[in-house]
Structure 1
Amino acid sequence: MKKVAGIVGGMGSLSTVDFLKKVVESTYAEKDQDHIRMIVDFNTQVPDRTTALLHNGEDPTPYLVDSVRRLQKAGADFALFVCNTAHAFLEKVQAQVDIPILNLPKLALEKLMETGIKSAWLTGTRGLIASEVYQKAAKELRFDLKIPDPFVQDSVMNVIYSVKAGRLQQAKQIWLEEVEPHLDGYVLLACTELPVVACSERVKLIDLNELWARMIVEMCGGRLK
């Protein structure tokens, strides 16, 4: 029996649309019925995850719990956060809901290691870096994870919040001038805003939105292109 994916989205809005688009584009389909079934809670009211982690902001946990419960009630077999930083709250949320929530950061690193990739830079929010969600998974899997210096991290944050504000050209310029030149090899785009603007002809960008999308298609019984 095919599974139904429950998507906790809205963190941010454009990046959720990007993820859903990549689910559809990753699926081999000749008709509507060949696509997987998804239930989406586009919850734009979840408090900022980085502010909660670093500046004692409002805890997003109750909002995430509410979303997962709504998805469960609607018939989802499992839930996932279309937000890397939200995974810092995964254990607290999982303890309050009945359906499993996917640990997408760990699943992504496992998938990359299966393909022979064992080292990469991590680009994401300050909150994500501080939470060590990826670092813990990398240590467990013996994946070599490299963290940008503070200057580059500040620029990554400027890219992310520019995308959230819809300033895409500005975000792309910051990425090309202040972030991309300081990276090499493989680069994990570990904030769902980053794949919207990140590009490079020199380094190998890993779009986690796309990687997650392909994993979800398989989990729900769809066929990959």
Structure 2
Amino acid sequence: MKTIGMIGGLTWVSTAQYYRRLNEIANERLGGSASAKLVLASVNRADYTAAYLEKGDEDAAGDVVIEAARRVADGGADFLIICCNNAHRFVSRIEAEVGIPILHIAEASALEARRLGLDRLGLLGIRKTMESPFYADKLAEYGIETMIPNDADRTYINDKIYEELVKNVFLDNTRRGYIEVMERMQQSGSQGVVLGCTEIPLLVSATDTDIPVFDTTELHCQAAIKMAIGDDLQAEAR
């Protein structure tokens, strides 16, 4: 089994879910007492948010992620996963400066969409994830068109992530609000919705709505274990 490098702490809430699911999936696949081989570098989220939210310094924010990538590479990781959708905007820098292979979280969702025969997905996440091209561009590589909510709904989704979800607060009213946004996106033509912040699947699950939802944490973990044990990630999507 290959060793999976994890960049966590962005936030600890979803990182804990990643650690649990990676080990559960490894045990399901391999049986016995098997667990995943992991190297985790958990960053101080305050350093990251101070860089890009307070100072607007993308280079400094990227430096936080790059330093963590170096730590997992030095720790013997064979490939890397970032336990945060938005931090994938630094993938090209990591690949150039650290040189470790990266399993992109949007690729995991794209492969699932192809398996299901869907080609137009809504995207929820923080405002930067929804409005920046890095996520939609990766989905487009697999023939997936990306839709985002209207401006008012983007503000609602973004603010609830920062005010509640990253603080491990999950409220029924917020769940209903998210589902209403998803329903509006479906009415506008989306065939499913990518939960493009790793805290959102802790709020909204497939059992809460008839709309196909793409749990990016779960899909990323499933793909990571497949990669670690040598399975073909593309097989089911063909």
TM-score bucket (shorter structure): 0.7 to 0.9
**RMSD of aligned residue pairs (Cα, Å):** 2.4
Partner of 1:22: 21
- Of structures 1 and 2, the one scoring higher in RCO (CA 8 A, sep 6+) is 1
Aligned residues: 218
Partner of 1:37: 37
How far apart are 1:9 and its partner, in Å?
0.5
Is the contact between residue 105 and residue 216 of structure 2 (CA under 8 Å) also seen in structure 1? Answer: no
> Which amino acid in 2 is paired with 1:7?
M
Alignment of 1:69-218 (within 5 A): 69-161=70-162, 162-169=164-171, 172-177=172-177, 179-184=181-186, 185-199=191-205, 200-218=208-226
The verdict on how the C-alpha distance between 1:213 and 1:141 changes in structure 2, with shifts beyond 3 A counting, is same
Q: TM-score, normalised by structure 2?
A: 0.82
How far apart are 1:71 and its partner, in Å?
0.7
CA distance in 1, matches of 2:41, 2:170: 25
Unpaired stretches in structure 2, ≥5 consecutive residues: 232-238
CA distance in 1, matches of 2:18, 2:154: 23
The verdict on how the C-alpha distance between 1:166 and 1:107 changes in structure 2, with shifts beyond 3 A counting, is closer
Identity %: 22
CA distance in 2, matches of 1:150, 1:55: 23
Is the contact between residue 9 and residue 44 of structure 1 (CA under 8 Å) also seen in structure 2? Answer: no
CA distance in 1, matches of 2:177, 2:129: 23
The verdict on how the C-alpha distance between 1:19 and 1:222 changes in structure 2, with shifts beyond 3 A counting, is farther
CA distance in 1, matches of 2:220, 2:42: 17
Partner of 1:3: 2
> Which amino acid in 2 is paired with 1:128?
T
CA distance in 1, matches of 2:160, 2:227: 31
CA distance in 2, matches of 1:108, 1:177: 23
Per-residue Cα deviation, 1:167-223 (whole angstroms, up to 9, x for no partner): 222xx4223135344232411101001011114223121101000110011111189
Q: TM-score, normalised by structure 1?
A: 0.86
Per-residue Cα deviation, 1:101-138 (whole angstroms, up to 9, x for no partner): 22221343134213322221111111112321221123
How far apart are 1:35 and its partner, in Å?
2.1
How far apart are 1:23 and its partner, in Å?
1.8
Is the contact between residue 120 and residue 188 of structure 1 (CA under 8 Å) also seen in structure 2? Answer: yes
CA distance in 2, matches of 1:140, 1:5: 24
Unpaired stretches in structure 1, ≥5 consecutive residues: none
Partner of 2:227: 219
